[in-house]
Amino acid sequence: MRSLIEYIYETELCLMLAEALAENPMVQAVHVEPRPDLFLKWVTRRPFGPGGREAGDGLRGFPPLDLPCDPDFDFYGQKTKNPDELPLLVRVHLCPDRVEAGARDLRAMAAETATEYVSRVAVVLEDRARARAAITPGNQVFGAFPGTMGGVLSDGDSLFGLTCAHVTQACPDVLDAPGNTIGKVQAVSTLTPSASHILCKPKSQDGNDMDAALFALDRTFAPGPSGLCVSAAYGSGQRALMRGGKSGGAHSYYFGSIGLTQIVDITAEDGTSRPHCFHLLRSIRPVPGFWSWACRGHQALQGDSGAFITNVSGDLWHGMLCAVDGTEGFFLDAEQVLAWAQGATGCQHLKPY
């Protein structure tokens, strides 16, 4: 069974569209997910997946990304009415705030570019607020900026807390909300600002793939063992849980799409905000509430940076939040974060505590 990433790179059409849109400064991100209308047939065929009810009860019209409902059913092999059309939906995030008022024709240019591809892939243009690093005052851990200690890794002897690189930046210490020093920073991934305010090419080497910081955690402030295991078995439409330093929780979300390229504003220690381009950020969407006052669900907020994203049972770690845009939260895949942490410490036995 092919994963979404494999299928995108195999067919290349979405990559070509993302590259064509990358020069437009109003385009903030290009995300891809399987087409919901085609997935309805899949739900009818097999409503629950290998994980039992959990694998199917969060679908709600969204298709899976990497976890198939039926291992013998090839979603990406399904045919649309047009045999040349891919079973994918491309979401183009437009951010009018990123351009001057006189440059509104950029929206028409984005639509014109997308029109060249709509015969082969479904495309939706969506207005979004600026995507920003999820940091803000008043949260659980503090480096240069407040954020969230999502979880703890262990090599069997030492404990390491995880948060985002844009939280700690150059600060040597990590503090909790009362001001106690809970750890010393051991490793911080490099964040490279974009040379311009436009997207990087999906296959280019000038974007960022990681936003993580590892700090040696004082056992006095360490939580108990979580029992988490790292897992890439999650898909669009499935339920997820996140407990953020700002948003609280744990709250429920749906896994959304995969970003081929995306601009995120990160504030430096001197107070200046600079755009950073990222590859392969995943998204989570709030689960709408039953009552009218909660109909939008719980948004991921600035201050949730570093929060771990897990499955509903809370025993599988899928990702770590790093950015928000007021509509969705964006996270790094847990396997990638763990691989970075293992490389940073030189310890291949490092795993969730």
Task: Please write the tens of the pLDDT for every residue from 205-247.
Answer: 888 999 999 998 887 777 777 788 998 878 787 889 998 877 7
Distance CA 4, CA 39 (A): 14
So what's the pLDDT on residue 67? 40
| Closest to 192 measured CA to CA, from 180, 207, 174, 213 | 207
Q: What is the pLDDT of residues 139-153, one digit of tens each?
A: 355 554 556 777 889
In a 13 Å sphere around the CA of 28, the CA atoms on its Cβ side amount to 21
- Separation of alpha carbons 281 and 262, rounded Å: 8
The enclosing H or E element of 9 equals helix 4-11
The span from the CA of 353 to the CA of 342, in Å, is 14
Is residue 39 included in any domain, yes or no?
no
- CA proximity to 220, closest of 188, 176, 187, 186: 176
Higher pLDDT, 35 or 308: 308
pLDDT (tens digit per residue) in 125-176: 999 999 988 543 333 555 545 567 778 898 888 889 888 998 888 788 888 7
Q: Does some domain include residue 203?
A: yes
Is 187 part of a structural domain of the chain? yes
- Domain assignment present for 215: yes
Strand partners, 244: 248
With bands split at pLDDT 50, 70 and 90, how would you rate the model's confidence at 46?
A: very low
Residue 219: inside a domain: yes
How many domains does the chain divide into? 1
Judge whether 182 lies within some domain. Answer: yes
Question: Can you give the pLDDT at residue 42?
Answer: 46
What is the extent of the structural domain holding 161? Answer: 140-224+344-352
Asked whether 24 and 53 are in contact (CB, 8 A), the reply is: no
Residue range 316-349, pLDDT digits in tens: 999 999 999 988 999 999 999 999 999 999 989 8
**CATH number (domain holding residue 184):** 2.40.10
Is the pLDDT reported for residue 16 higher than 50? yes
Q: What is the pTM of this model?
A: 0.83
Average model confidence (pLDDT) for the chain?
79
Whether 181 is covered by a domain: the verdict is yes
152 within some domain: yes
Kindly give, in sequence order, each residue whose CB lies less than 8 Å from that of residue 288, ignoring residues fewer than 6 positions away: 294, 295, 296, 297
